[in-house]
Amino acid sequence: MIEISNLSKVYGKKFSLTIPTLAINKNELVGLVGNNGAGKTTLLSLMLDLIPATNGFVKSKGMAVSKSEDWKNYTGSYLNERFLIPYLTPTEFFEFIGGLHGKNASDIALFLKENEAFFKEDAYDKTYIRDLSAGNKNKVGILAAILPKPEILILDEPFANLDPSSQLWLKSKLKELNNNGVTIVVSSHDLKHVTEICSRILILDNGKLVKDIPTNSNSLKELENYFNVSSI
């Protein structure tokens, strides 16, 4: 589904991300972990063509994302607040995004009803997104990413700022989507969340892919050991 070859991104002399090769297959649920500054967001931004690669390319369904815009039709994503239009209300924003994918107001109302447990839209229907709390912005962004029923879902730190029940909800939602065939890439600092839901875990350190392991019952221990050692 997503292929990376010879990808590198250089920022000045201090930081560079290099990934010689990586393939993410259809229906995988990939967790991306790494300490601050490891290059998680850089990698996700390259997958979404938000920044130009210094070398190499990311291919989605066999097409380079920097060349063709087809990936936008089937990719849902939320990295940060800059993906939200601050002066719209959540409902207007969902309608805007939905409209781009040919969904009408009643489709969207139905979608919001289904996901009411996560984000109670009517409580905020008179508030602009810019006035929402960080957690609620995050929720709006995540819902807008899954609203168009994407085949690929890319989320950066989706569990950050979420309350406990929303975290649980999101975990089961991601599993459910994955069971329905959606390919998912999530980054997170929470090793527990990642080992619970992901089928494959990638560890980035200082711009390099240092581990690529399938999840099993020992994964959490393994990860904890890894991060313990590298921090000392």
Q: Which is nearer to another protein, 38 or 46 (CB)?
A: 46
| Cα distance between residue 85 and residue 229, in whole Å | 42
Say whether residue 127 binds another protein (CB under 8 A).
yes
- Binders of another protein among residues 49 to 68 (CB under 8 A) are 49-52
Q: Which is nearer to another protein, 125 or 176 (CB)?
A: 125
Q: Given the structure tokens 């600092």, which residue do they identify?
A: 189
Dihedral, 69, 188, 7, 80 alpha carbons, nearest 10 = 40
Query: Segment near another protein (CB under 8 A), from 25-33, 125-133, 167-175, 187-195?
Result: 125-133
User: Shortest Cβ distance from residue 87 to another protein (Å)?
Assistant: 4
Query: Do residues 207 and 40 touch, judged by C-beta distance below 8 A?
Result: no
**Contact residue for another protein among 29, 32, 48, 146 (CB under 8 A):** 48
Site for another protein in 90-109 (CB under 8 A): 91-92, 95-97, 99-101
**Length of the chain in residues, anyone?**
232
CB of 227 to another protein, least distance (A): 28
CB atoms within 10 A of CB 125: 12
Based on its alpha-carbon atoms, the radius of gyration of the chain, rounded to whole angstroms, reads 18
H or E segment at 207?
A: none
Q: From residue 145 to residue 174, what is the string marking binding to another protein with x (rule CB under 8 A)? A: ---x--------------------------
Shorter beta-carbon distance to another protein: residue 123 or 168: 123
Binding residue count for another protein, defined by CB under 8 A: 37
Interacting span for another protein (CB under 8 A) from 29-37, 126-134, 160-168, 207-215: 126-134
CB of 168 to another protein, least distance (A): 26
Binding to another protein by CB under 8 A, coded x per residue (else -) over 74-93, reads -x-x-xxxxxxxxxxx-xx-
Three-class SS state of 61: coil
18: which residues sit within 8 A by CB, 6+ positions away? 7, 8, 207, 208
- CA–CA separation, 157 vs 78, rounded Å? 9
Strands 63-64 and 2-11: unpaired
Element (H, E) at 196: helix 191-197
Closer CB to another protein, 93 or 215, in the complex:
93
Name the minimum Å distance from CB 41 to another protein: 11
Q: Are 37 and 15 contacting, i.e. CB atoms less than 8 angstroms apart? A: yes
Residues in contact with another protein by CB under 8 A are 48-52, 69, 72-73, 75, 77, 79-89, 91-92, 95-97, 99-101, 125-128, 131-133, 148
